[in-house]
Chain A
Amino acid sequence: MMQKKIHSSMVIFSGLILCALIGLYVHLLVGELKPWDMIDWLDIVAEGGTAILAVFWLALLLRSRPAGRVTFWLALGVSCFVFSWWMDCIDEVIEIPSGAFWHNWPENMPVPLGLLLLTIGIYHWHQEERAISAQMIKRERVFREHRLFDALIPIGGADYLREQVKLALKEARMAAQPLALVVIDINDFSHINHSFGDLEGDQVLQSITQLLLLNLRSQDLLCRLAGDRFVAVLPNTNNHQAKIIADELETAIASLAYKTTRQGNRIQLSASTAVEVGLQEEANSMIKKLNMNLSLIKKHLITSPI
């Protein structure tokens, strides 16, 4: 994957440099250097600066995106702009005899071509974005804010949860439908960290995240509250339905046959869940109550181990 990414960026960059050099060579071959006092330095700075900025876009694009069709079209489009501005810049230094019928082509032709390629790229990007959003739907609702995403587990953290519960409560009040929260807490998680190491613990959390996402409905949202504690936001859900979903999540975790990455040891997992349903409440107090419900259930768990 990484190999391929580096490879395709190299192809694009070396292609671009080759074209730029060919352009320069052809100009030198046909045209002649302008006298020093004929050169408009402001034009060179402006056109050269634009070309440098476009190279920067290209670098960001190739670094941040996985290699593939969409990236290829976008990069090719931006490359056309870079080439056009580069030729524009050279044009300021080298005079092409105006008799040559093609003398405007190198700086003018790539622009419409680049726009066309960029449009194709953006269209495919749009399609791709829709496909990704469909996969992300249980991790984000309504708005995207990557800065609130958890560093370890690719779902929202506590701050994102608070924002989302606020929004969901507003919606719930408008629709006069209850909003349910389910908290899922992995039992004895510190034991896993201690026996198998923290990296394995992180792996377990990532697997559990995927599992929980699979077991939720498309309108639900999953966030990581902290550590090994997750919260699912269930719009339009009453207490009874929420309890059923909570039980399903508990069962799913209990029947996950997780194997450690190194030795392939089976780790027996279990979770405790609690539910809180609200409509007229405030987001923070609802999350607090949810946690109190959980600690009551956990206390019960300690006194009567089954």
Chain B
Amino acid sequence: MTMLLNSYERDTNLIAAHHQPAIMLDLATSRDIDSRALLRGTRLVLDDILTGRKLISPDRFLTLLANCQKALNADDTSFLFGQRLFPGSYGAVSQVLTHSQTLHQALIHICHHHSLLSPLCTPRYFENNDHLFIYWLDSCGAGAQFTFLLEAYMTAVASMGNRMLDSKLPWRFNFTHAEPRYIEQYWVHLSDEVKFNQQLSMMSIPLDITHQVRLKTSPISLQLALQGSKSQLTDIGWEASFLDTLYDYFRENIQQNIQLETVANAFGMSPASLKRKLLKHNTHFQKQLDLARKHVALYLYQVKGYQHHEVADYLRFNDINNFRRAFKRWTGLPPGQLLQENCF
């Protein structure tokens, strides 16, 4: 029962309309587009946003983004939106990013505060010996709009990093989707180091860069901002989405025999309700479970350097051939071939 208390869903009102939705509106209206057309279907009026107190659901934010994308009809909308996102002026949580002493700190704070900073697209980080990786998961079942979100939020993180350290940092980007027609937007706004049809949508940067200490930051301001952002999180009351929570549960219990019934039990709901909730987020049980297992397998191979049989053992496959088949189903490639391509 306790598991679900902190998770928001597609229709939970948690996004401050005057923060990121307003940035998108500003961008579109600066191109002479009427705001009423942009707000169509969102049940919002401009005055709601101006109160500075209105909260909207992921569903409505996605509608707003779709309206703007359609009205602007340009390939760079997501990237221009992304450039304006971080650190933003979202109160204490933006101060946390501004006062972070290293990029490393800022990136971890972004992941920790993602329900405030990136409510539609969840960033998660891990490190190996020389790189820091941030990969992104669909928080609320954005479907076809997920590409737009990835473009926007990866641009947001990358351009914030570049500004913090005042240089164009050697970011590298992987995307699960195929190379889009407007590839030049990726070159110009992200980097030339961009690959498509990859296993994870992920960005990486050398660790030593993330540990460069920035001058002119104040540790006291950071402490104060952190206290403020903590109460911001308690105020909205959500730290992770339903899909985030489910993913975390899968990863924690990956070595158990995970069944729909046991998960529903752990979440304090009936199997039918769990199925319904998954459907509401445009996904289903097996898809989410396979995603978690794929990520664990890739992590074990690439970061921990496990061999085939060790990964199969870890994931409780009795038969290595069964594991190979499952792995191919998750990733589209047999394990050996995938490792040669070095997907990280």
Q: In the complex, which residue of chain A has the Cβ closest to the Cβ of B163?
A: A194
* Chain A, 8-24, CB within 8 A of any chain B CB: none
* Given A151-B72, A194-B163, A226-B76, residue A291 in contact with residue B185 (CB < 8 A): no
Among A190, A198, A226, A298, point to the contact of B184 (Cβ < 8 A).
Answer: A226
Chain B positions within 8 Å of A227 at CB level: 76, 79, 185, 188-189
Range, interface on chain B: 20 to 34
B239 to chain A, nearest CB (A): 31
Contact B163 A190 (CB under 8 A): yes
How distant is A165 from chain B, measured CB to nearest CB, in Å?
A: 12
CA separation between A294 and B122, bound complex, in Å? 33
Closest-by-CB residue of B relative to A231 is B184
Across chains A and B, the number of contacting residue pairs, with CB separation under 8 Å, is 51
A291 and B187 contacting across the interface, CB-CB below 8 Å:
yes
Q: In the complex, A76 Cα to B86 Cα: how many Å? A: 56
Q: Does A238 contact B (CB under 8 A)?
A: no
The CA of A234 and the CA of B162, in the complex, are separated in Å by 34
Shortest CB-to-CB span from A278 to chain B, Å, is 17
Return chain B residues, CB-CB under 8 Å to A166. Answer: none
Establish whether residues B73 and A287, one from each chain, have CB atoms under 8 Å apart when the complex forms: no
- B342 CB-CB contact with A under 8 Å: no
Residues of A within 8 A of B73 (CB): 151
Query: Are B189 and A226 closer than 8 Å at their CB atoms?
Result: yes
Report Cα–Cα, A229/B189, bound state, in Å.
Answer: 10
Residues A88-104 near B (CB distance < 8 A) = none
| B72, closest chain A residue (CB) | A151
Rounded to whole angstroms, the CA-CA distance of A229 and B183 in the bound complex is 13
Residue from B83, B159, B187 with most neighbouring chain A CB atoms (10 Å):
B187
A33 to B: closest C-beta gap in Å: 47
- Chain B residues near A225 (CB, 8 Å)? 184, 188
Whole-angstrom distance from the CB of A50 to the nearest CB of chain B? 33
Question: Contacts of B184 on A, CB cut-off 8 Å?
Answer: 158, 225-226, 229, 287, 291
Q: Are B75 and A226 in contact (CB under 8 A)?
A: yes
Q: Does B257 contact A (CB under 8 A)?
A: no
A228 near B188 with CB under 8 A, answer yes
How far, in angstroms, from A226 to B182 measured CA to CA in the complex? 9
Q: Tell me the minimal C-beta distance from B2 to chain A in angstroms.
A: 44
- Check B48 for interface membership: any CB of A closer than 8 A: no
Is A292 at the interface (CB under 8 A from chain B)?
A: yes
Interface residues, chain A, with chain B CB atoms under 8 Å away: 151-152, 157-159, 185, 190, 193-194, 198-199, 225-229, 287, 291-292, 295, 298, 302
6 closest cross-chain pairs (CB), A and B: A227-B188, A226-B188, A295-B192, A226-B184, A226-B185, A225-B184
Q: List 21 A-B contacts (CB under 8 A).
A: A158-B75, A185-B188, A190-B159, A190-B163, A193-B83, A194-B163, A198-B30, A198-B80, A198-B84, A199-B30, A225-B188, A226-B76, A226-B185, A226-B187, A226-B189, A227-B76, A229-B187, A291-B184, A291-B187, A298-B168, A302-B168
